[in-house]
Amino acid sequence: MPQQTPLKIAVLVSGSGTNLQALIDRIEQGDINANIACVISNKAEALALSRARQHGIPTEVLESSAGQKRSEYDALLVKILHRYNVRLVVLAGFMRILTDVMISAFPNAIMNIHPALLPAFPGLNAQRQALEYGVRFTGCTVHFVDSGTDTGPIILQAVVPITAEDTVATISEKIQVEEHRIYPEAVRLFVQGSLKVEERRVKIQLA
Give the span between the Cα atoms of 33 and 29, in whole angstroms. 10
Q: Which helix (H) or strand (E) holds 127?
A: helix 126-133
In three-state secondary structure terms, 60 is: strand
Give the span between the Cα atoms of 199 and 16, in whole angstroms. 34
- Residues involved in catalysis: 114
Q: What φ, ψ does residue 144 adopt, rounded to 5°?
A: -75, 150
| Contact status, residue 111 vs residue 186, Cβ threshold 8 Å | yes
Q: Provide Rg for the chain, Cα atoms.
A: 17
Q: What share of the chain is helix, strand, coil (3-state, %, to 5)?
A: 35, 25, 40
| Contact status, residue 20 vs residue 39, Cβ threshold 8 Å | yes
Fill in the amino acid letter for 137.
Answer: F
